C-alpha cells in the first residue's frame, strides 16, 4: 500500500509539472492576450495579470493537495491580506516556495533572475505581470520603488537560490539594498518543507518517502528605519543583511 | 599623479572601511566578485566613491571588464595619467 502511494506520488508529481508548464503556456498565449484586448489601461492590465497568477497558483497548490502530494500549514497569514508596499523576504527550501507565497499573498511582485525573461515557458508570464528583472542594479531600484509606491509587495529570496538543506542560511545583499534604498520594512516569512523535496539537488521525480508538509509562517514586520539615514549605504546594507540572516537562522533553528 | 602603490593603498582603505573587506584579503590578484564577495550593486557604489575621491569622471562601462583589484588600480592609473 505504501509502495502504491509512493508510485502514485511520482505520477501525480509528473502530472503537476506537466499542468504547470501547460498552464503557463495557456495563460501567456490565451488569457493574457485576451486581457490585453479588453483592458486598455496598462496598470489595470498588469494588476489583472497579477491577479490571474495569484489565483492560478492558488489553484495549483489546491491541485497538489487534492492529488495527495502535500499538506499546507499557514500561520498568521491573515495579517498579510492588508500588506502594502513591503519587501517580503523568505528562506528558500524548495521549488514551490514562490508558488505558495504568491498563491496566498495578494499584490505580490517579484524580483526574478534575468534568465526567466529568456525561458520560453515563463517569459510571457514574467513580462506581462511586470515582475522585476535583476539584470541592471540602477534600473532595479527604480522599478522596485515604483512598484512599492503602487502598493505592491516585493517578494525576494535573499539566498538568491534554493537553500542547501541543513546548512546555515547565507543571504545575498539584494533584499537589504532594496529595503534600504527604497526605505521600506521587511515582512519576513519562514518556510519549512518536511521531508525535504524539490531542493536544488533533487530531480522532480525524487519524491519524498511520504507526503510532504510545507509550513509557511508570517512573522512580525521588521522595522528597517534605523538604516534609512545611515551615512554609508554599503555598511548599512551589510549590517541589515547580517541581522536578518541571524534572525532567520534563529527562527528556523539553524546554527549559523 | 599617483603611483600604483598609492592607488592600491587608497583602494584598500576604501574597501576595508566602506565594504567591510578584511585588509589581508586585498591583494592585486584578488578577484572582486569571488574572493572579496562584492556584488554588482557594490561595484556601482564603488565607482561612485572612486569618482568622489579621485575627482575623475569614471564611466561605469569602463568598469564592466574589471575583475580583480589590479584591474581597478590599472584603470585608475590610466585615468590619472591621462589627465
Q: Where are the domains of chain A?
A: 2-251
Q: Is A137–B41 a contact, with Cβ atoms under 8 angstroms apart? A: yes
Q: Dump pLDDT digits (tens) for A104-163.
A: 998 899 988 888 889 887 787 888 899 999 887 788 999 999 999 999 999 999 998 898
Q: What confidence score (pLDDT) does residue A203 get?
A: 82
In chain A, residues with a C-beta closer than 8 Å to the C-beta of B63 are none
* Measured distance CA(A103)–CA(A173) in Å, rounded: 26
**Exposed / middle / buried, residue A222 (Cβ in 10 Å: 0-12, 13-18, 19+):** middle
Q: Which of A137, A138, A235 sits opposite B18 (nearest CB)?
A: A235
Host H or E run for residue A109: strand A108-112
Cα nearest neighbour of B64 on chain A: A136
DSSP A203-246: -TT---SS-EEEEEEE-PPB--GGGTT-S-HHHHHHHHHHHHHH
- Judge contact between B63 and B75, C-beta under 8 A: yes
Q: For residue A132, which phi and psi values (nearest 5 degrees)?
A: -100, 130
> Which tens digit of pLDDT belongs to each residue from A182-226?
999 999 999 999 988 888 888 877 888 889 999 999 999 999 999
Long-range pairs of B18-22 with CB within 8 A, sequence gap ≥ 24: B18/A232, B18/A234, B18/A235, B18/B49, B19/A234, B19/A235, B19/A238, B19/B46, B20/A234, B20/A235, B20/A238
Which range has the top average pLDDT, A24-33, A66-75, B37-46?
A66-75
Chain-chain contact of B18 with A177 (C-beta, under 8 angstroms)? no
CB contact (8 A) between residue B18 and residue A137: no
pLDDT at A223: 97
Distance, in angstroms, between B40 CA and closest chain A CA?
Answer: 7
In chain B, the N- to C-terminal Cα span, in Å, equals 9
Domain covering B4-82: architecture = Orthogonal Bundle (1.10)
A176 → chain B, closest CA residue: B41
- State what percent of residues in chain A have pLDDT above 70: 99
The residue extents of the domains of chain B are: 4-82
- Asked if A242 has any chain B CB less than 8 Å from its own CB, the reply is no
B41/A174 Cβ within 8 A? yes
Enumerate chain B positions whose Cβ falls within 8 A of a Cβ in A. 18-20, 39-42, 44-45
CB pairs under 8 A between A and B: 24
ipTM: 0.87
Is 0.80 surpassed by the pTM of this model? Answer: yes
Interatomic CA distance for residues A163 and A32, integer angstroms: 33
The grid cell for B65 is 571588464
CATH number of A2-251: 3.40.1130
CA dihedral for A65, A71, A76, A80, sign (positive or negative)? negative
Amino acid at each position: 500500500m505504501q509502495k502504491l502511494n509512493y508510485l502514485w506520488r511520482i505520477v501525480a508529481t509528473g502530472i503537476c509539472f506537466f499542468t504547470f508548464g501547460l498552464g503557463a503556456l495557456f495563460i501567456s498565449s490565451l488569457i493574457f492576450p485576451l486581457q490585453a484586448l479588453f483592458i486598455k489601461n496598462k496598470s489595470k492590465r498588469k494588476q489583472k495579470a497579477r491577479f490571474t497568477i495569484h489565483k492560478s497558483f492558488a489553484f495549483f497548490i489546491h491541485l497538489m493537495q487534492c492529488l495527495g502530494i502535500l499538506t499546507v500549514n499557514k500561520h498568521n497569514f491573515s495579517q498579510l491580506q492588508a500588506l502594502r508596499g513591503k519587501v517580503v523576504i523568505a528562506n528558500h527550501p524548495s521549488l514551490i516556495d514562490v508558488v505558495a507565497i504568491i498563491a496566498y499573498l495578494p499584490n505580490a511582485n517579484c524580483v526574478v533572475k534575468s534568465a526567466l525573461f529568456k525561458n520560453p515557458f515563463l517569459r510571457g508570464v514574467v513580462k506581462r505581470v511586470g515582475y522585476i528583472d535583476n539584470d541592471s542594479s540602477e534600473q532595479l531600484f527604480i522599478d522596485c520603488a515604483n512598484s512599492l509606491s503602487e502598493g505592491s509587495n516585493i517578494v525576494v529570496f535573499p539566498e538568491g537560490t534554493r537553500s542547501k538543506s541543513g546548512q546555515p542560511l547565507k543571504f545575498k545583499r539584494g533584499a537589504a539594498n532594496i529595503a534600504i534604498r527604497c526605505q521600506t520594512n521587511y515582512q519576513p516569512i519562514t518556510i519549512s518543507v518536511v521531508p525535504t523535496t524539490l531542493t536544488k539537488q533533487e530531480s522532480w521525480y525524487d519524491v519524498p518517502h511520504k507526503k510532504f508538509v510545507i509550513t509557511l509562517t508570517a512573522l512580525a514586520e521588521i522595522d528597517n528605519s534605523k538604516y534609512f539615514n545611515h551615512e554609508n549605504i554599503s555598511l548599512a546594507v551589510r549590517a541589515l543583511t547580517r541581522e536578518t540572516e541571524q534572525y532567520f537562522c534563529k527562527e528556523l533553528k539553524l546554527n549559523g | 599623479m599617483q603611483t600604483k602603490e598609492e592607488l592600491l593603498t587608497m583602494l584598500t582603505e576604501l574597501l576595508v572601511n566602506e565594504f567591510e573587506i578584511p585588509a589581508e584579503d586585498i591583494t592585486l590578484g584578488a578577484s572582486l566578485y569571488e574572493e572579496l564577495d562584492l556584488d554588482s550593486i557594490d561595484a556601482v557604489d564603488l565607482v561612485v566613491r572612486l569618482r568622489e575621491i579621485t575627482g575623475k569622471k569614471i564611466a561605469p562601462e569602463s568598469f564592466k571588464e574589471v575583475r580583480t583589484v589590479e584591474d581597478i588600480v590599472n584603470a585608475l592609473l590610466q585615468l590619472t595619467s591621462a589627465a
